[in-house]
Structures are given as C-alpha cells and as structure tokens.
Amino acid sequence: MLNYVIRRIIYAIPIIIGVNLLTAILFFYVNTPDDMARKILGEKNVTPQVIEGWKREHGYDLPLFVNESEKGAGKVLRTIFFQKSLPLLWLNFGRSDRNNIDIRREIRGRMWASFAVALPTFIIGILVDITFAMIIAYMRGTSLDLSGVVACVILMSVSTLFYIIGGQYLFGKMLRLFPISGYSTGIHAVKFVILPVVIGVISGAGGGIRFYRTVFLEELGKDYIRTARAKGLSEGTVLFKHALKNAMIPVLTNVVVSIPFLFYGSLLMESFFSIPGLGSFTIDAINAQDFAIVRAMVYLGSILYIIGLVLTDISYTLVDPRVRLG
C-alpha cells in the first residue's frame, strides 16, 4: 500500500503543475494584467502610467512564460508563471493582489468557519440520506417508495437559492428563530450555523437519497441476497446486514471524495449568510479579479481532490478484502 501511495503522489505532481499552468493561461487570456489593475484600482480614468506602476509592484510586468529579454535560465526564471505559480508547490501562496494580505494566514483563519458549516452538514446529510434511502429501498414497489422518489425529484429540481432565501425569510424574518447573517467564534457560532446546516442538508437530500437508493436496490437484486432470503432471513437482516455491507464501496466513493471539499465550505451558503469562510473568500476574490487568491484556491482544491482519491482507494481495502493496492 505504501508503494501505491508513493506512486500516486509522484503521478500527482505533473497533474498539479498542469492545473496551475491551465489556470494561469485561462486567467491571463480572459483577464489581462491591465484588466486586473483597472478592476483593483477602481478608477474609471486610471492612466497607463498608474497601470504600469501597479503591474511592476505586483510582478505582472513580466512575460507569462518566456522572457525574451533574458538569457539562459533567466528566460524562465523571470516570468510570471515561475515566480507566482511554482512556489505553490511548497504551499507558498504569497500575498493578495488587492489588499496585500498574507493568503496562507487568511486561509488558516477562515477555514474554521467553513468547517463549522460544512462538517455538520456533511455528517448529518450522510446519515439522513443513507437512512431514508435504506427505508425507501426496503419498501421498494410500494406507495412509500414511489412517494419517496417523487419527493427526491422535487427536492433536486428546486434551486439551492430558493432554499437559502426561503429559509432566511421563514426562520429568520418571520419566526425570528435564527440570525440570517453574521458569524461568531466559539460556542456562540452555533446559532449562526444551525440554519445554513439545515438548508444544506435539505437541499442535498434529493440527490443523495436517490443515489444511495439506487446503490441499495442494485445490491438487493444480486444472487447472494436471493440466497440469504432463501435461508429464511428477515428482510431487515438482508438489507441492513448484507446489502449495506456490500454496498460500501460506492458509498465510500461518494463520501470520501467529498471529505476534502469540506475545507472549502459552501460558496453560496457562506456568501448569503455572510460567514467569513473560504467559500466567501473565493467568491470575493473572483469578483475582485484577485488572481493571487484564485490561483491559491485552485491549487489547494486540486491537492485536496487528489488526497480524496487516494483516501477512497485506501478505504476500499478496509471494507472489501478482495481489493488489493499494488
């Protein structure tokens, strides 16, 4: 297993470099450094001299990949890509283009707010989705099964924005049970995250329950299930003891791959509830065309996704002894 993990890490290096390269190309061809300067400086009639000064100050006056004015190694060393993207390999995120804040320190400070919303949403959502999916699968072919599927489709068809705005209006404005914006630290954060967590669980329940229901129904149609029933085992034992255990690989695939993204929190949820997490941090950076932050978050996302894939493969060996990682 150790050899497998080492190989995956080695394979990940060119993927990560490629992600950074593609991000740099797309960003600079869609938004040139001149466009970034005008957006960040916020002046309608900003002069070319001011733009050039901003670019020199932030290192965007250099060529993107090849500096023809330099010789030898300087052609690559004196480029935007080398000076701003490659340091990400050792988690040197640099400073913001907009307000010069330390990006790594900002990430460390904001990630706890994202965890406060994303972690309970993730755990409660998984429990709710699997529980209801097993109940519906257990009652397959009945009116409860049909009603459950219809409810899931309805839940999936409604935009997350409707749940957010409707929840804020109902529980915040009308009933005044929870605050609809803001955040606090420590135990006081609970009252600010309850509503986002409830909305997050409800908005994701439709797709989650349908996915797990499909997984359980597929298992219930296999030969070992028919053998278990032929032995006289109850339907509950067949479903909860046999089907659930053998359905763990697709369940783990869906669960473990999602774990790294808890770091990001929810982009929409944090923005609408004014929670100072990494989701709102990323949205603000995109709106402000702060390439330094966008570049750092894209890189961090690619790292976390690769970690999620490795964890998924490792988790397979824990639930299925037939799986071996060479």
Residues 85 and 129 in one domain: no
Of the two residues 228 and 107, the one the predictor is more confident about is 107
- Domain at 135, CATH number: 1.10.3720.10
What's residue 73's pLDDT? 58
Question: Does residue 97 have a pLDDT over 70?
Answer: yes
The answer to whether 40 touches 285, Cβ cutoff 8 Å, is no
Last residue of a domain, one of 24, 56, 90: 90
The 8-class DSSP code of residue 172 comes to: I
Segments forming the whole domain that contains residue 46: 2-90
Residue with tokens 């808890």: 262
What's residue 124's pLDDT? 92
| Beta bridge partners of residue 102, listed in sequence order | 95
Of the two residues 244 and 203, the one the predictor is more confident about is 203
Residues in the chain: 326
The segment with the largest mean pLDDT, out of 16-25, 177-186, 194-203, is 194-203
Distances from the Cα of 21 to the Cα of 153, 199, 213, angstroms: 39, 37, 40
pLDDT digits 0-9 by tens, 243-262: 777 777 777 777 777 776 67
d(CA 253, CA 222): 20
Question: Does residue 194 have a pLDDT over 70?
Answer: yes
Other Cβ atoms within 10 Å of 315 Cβ, number: 18
Residues 124 and 84 in one domain: no
pTM: 0.79
Last residue of a domain, one of 55, 90, 125: 90
Burial of 239 (0-12, 13-18, 19+ CB in 10 A): buried
